[in-house]
Amino acid sequence: MTYKEEVCIDAGSENCPCLLAESGDCITCSRLQGKDCCDCNWRGVCIYNEYIQNGKKINNRRESKKTRILKKIWYGEDLVVLVVEVSKGFALKASLPGSYVFLKRCHESDCYSVPISVMRAEPEKGQLHLAVKVVAGKTKALAEATDHIEIRGVYRNGLLGVSRLLTKQPQKVLCITKGVGFAPAANYNQWAFGKDTIDMIIDLDKINQELVNDYLVDYPANSIRYTELTPDLVCPEEYDRVLILASDYFVESIAVPEKKRIVSNNFHMCCGEGICGACTMVDDQGKSHKMCKCQFYEF
């Protein structure tokens, strides 16, 4: 029998305890859910103890910060890469696979915040490269920003099953991307360069060849195949992991063994902190999961 365990992506990090501890909705800690006893499976530093010892205050709340736009690179009429200035520590955190940030134009309300996957992080320069597909009001506002923009993060849950990538052992990985799903693929490729052997299947829908060339030239993949994705794509069995960065239609259609799968987190991200409910998923047992924070592990 296979069991699934729900784990918070922020548990034990510098952002834990978080806002959910204050509201009694902690994903991991039973005491911070209002129960009278410890009944969690967490194997790190006790979250309840951290919360109490810290005077019932949350750790390092993520807040929007004004940052400078160093460069805007247009790829066609509706795809722009923003190169923004951040601290070296911020860029280092954003270099991990699955990292994303929230962006909004300065002085706009928080409802204009847009989750954007990190495409490249350069800790030595203190820079992030963020690809924005201009679709509607929020992304149009980002594209119109000139000198400065507000950034909030770093958030970690952009990939479901990301722990399968974060290993010290070299792996052979097939990365399947469509459209702007290329952005998190490029970030992972840079992070794993020299460790993993990465083959890519890229559908250029809504992006172009120039973007791919620019962001793989310094960190070339082992092989690249350009094709139009189809739901009946057959993944060779030789790969240790298969990373699918596309819409839910392809995530659900492309057959990959569960233990090998890592997929893009396509749930609606609004706050990133688990408090708004926009990303909530209800499972077969009727239990709600905050997918901006949840990871599932099978054992």
Q: Over the stretch 252-290, which tens digit does the pLDDT of each residue have?
A: 999 998 899 999 999 999 899 999 889 999 988 888 899
Q: How confident is the model at residue 298 (pLDDT cuts 50, 70, 90)?
A: low
Residues 6+ apart with CB under 8 A from 230: none
CA distance 82 to 67: 11
Q: Which CATH number fits domain 65-155: 2.40.50.100, 1.10.3720.10, 1.10.3210.10, 2.40.30.10?
A: 2.40.30.10
For the whole model, what pTM was predicted? 0.92
Which amino acid appears at position 197 of this protein?
Answer: T
In words, the CATH class of domain 159-282 is alpha beta
CB-count exposure of residue 30 (10 Å: 0-12, 13-18, 19+): middle
CA end-to-end span of the chain: 9
What pLDDT is attached to residue 1? 40
- Please state the separation of Cα 155 from the chain's center in Å: 7
Which residues make beta-bridge pairs with 242? 174, 261
241-245 vs 261-264, strand pairing mode: parallel
CB 32 within 8 A of CB 48: yes
Residue 40 vs residues 30, 35, 57, 153, 265: alpha-carbon distances, Å: 6, 11, 21, 27, 25
Q: How confident is the model at residue 111 (pLDDT cuts 50, 70, 90)?
A: confident
What pLDDT is attached to residue 3? 52
Radius of gyration in angstroms for the set of CA atoms belonging to the chain, rounded to a whole number: 19
What pLDDT is attached to residue 239? 95
Tens digit of each residue's pLDDT (9 = 90 or more) over 59-110: 889 999 999 999 999 998 999 999 999 999 999 999 999 999 999 999 888 8
Domain residues of the chain, as ranges?
4-61, 65-155, 159-282
Average pLDDT over residues 41-60: 90
CB 288 within 8 A of CB 2: no
Phi/psi at 254 (5° precision) = -75, 120
Average pLDDT taken over every residue of the chain: 92
User: What tokens were used for 266?
Assistant: 């396509």
CA distance 242 to 216: 19
What pLDDT is attached to residue 4? 67
Best-predicted range by mean pLDDT (147-151, 234-238, 284-288): 147-151
User: What tokens were used for 149?
Assistant: 């923009």
Per the document, the length of the chain is 299
